[in-house]
Amino acid sequence: MFLFGFTTIMEGVVKNYSGLLAVRFFLGVFETGMIFILEGCLTVAFSFVFFFALPDFPEESKWLTSEEKDYVSARLRVDQGRSARERQITAKDVGRVLMDYKVIAAGFM
């Protein structure tokens, strides 16, 4: 980042075309993929912070009251719903999904 900023400042100092070409070359070298590197570093840094800061389950949370923990746990149980392991998926189920107008419309998009 420092080299990118320094090279940008040097753009205002150049006096001829060859100097401008040299500065633009180094500016391109320093900015190539810099946004991806910066975003990646921030993501990795925050992932380590949140790995240790966030609990795995609401019951382990330190900042929720017992009523809030119970509420969140109940909502999680409701949101889980029924899984495919509880009953077999039949050909009729597949046909019903494939004939749904939303699935057909999404197929044409």
Sign of CA dihedral 43, 46, 52, 55: negative
Give me the pLDDT at residue 83, please. Answer: 61
DSSP summary character for residue 33: T
- Residue 80: inside a domain: no
Q: pLDDT tens digit string along 75-97?
A: 888 887 666 567 788 899 999 99
- Residue 60: inside a domain: yes
- Residue 59: inside a domain: yes
Range of the domain at 39: 2-65
8 A C-beta contact, residue 11 and residue 23: yes
Alpha-carbon dihedral angle through residues 16, 17, 23, 28, given to the nearest 10 degrees: 170
Distance CA 89, CA 103 (A): 18
Q: pLDDT tens digit string along 4-42?
A: 788 888 888 888 999 889 988 888 887 777 778 888 899
- The tally of domains found in the chain comes to 1
Give me the pLDDT at residue 102, please. Answer: 95
8 A C-beta contact, residue 69 and residue 59: yes
